Amino acid sequence: PSRCDALKRCFMRVPYAPQALDNFNQFLTDIGFTLPKVPSMPNLPPALSQITQQLPSLPPQLAQLPQQISQRFSKITPQFPNQTLFSAPQFPSFPVQLSSLSQQL
């Protein structure tokens, strides 16, 4: 609303704008056109805590989601002694198995 008032004040400084606006309003009245009423802005609660109190609580599935994610990550444990969660797996016995396989051939 304050932006509309500022725009109207700026518009009214233009020469002949007030007369043009009056003529336009008179034309709308003459043809029986009524402008729709814009609803006023709702009063918002002053604090965010009041808004969150009005919201419904989370469903149980969403409330348990962070715990389920952490459980899944804890189940993904390194399978090899020198391996971390994000490192490439190391195969300590792989070269030994290859050499024994080549001797058998």
Domain hosting 15: range is: 1-33
Express each pLDDT in 76-93 by its tens digit. Answer: 755 555 555 555 555 555
Residue 11 lies in a domain: yes
Residue 9 lies in a domain: yes
Q: Quote the pLDDT of residue 30.
A: 92
- Whether 83 is covered by a domain: the verdict is no
Question: Tokens 């029986």 belong to which residue?
Answer: 32
The domain total for the chain is 1
DSSP string, 34-86: -PPPPPPPPPPPSSHHHHHHHSPPPPHHHHHHHHHHHHHHHH---SSTT--TT
Q: Using a cut of 0.95, tell me whether the model's pTM lies above it.
A: no
pLDDT digits (tens, 9 = 90+) for 21-57: 889 889 988 999 887 787 777 776 677 666 666 666 7
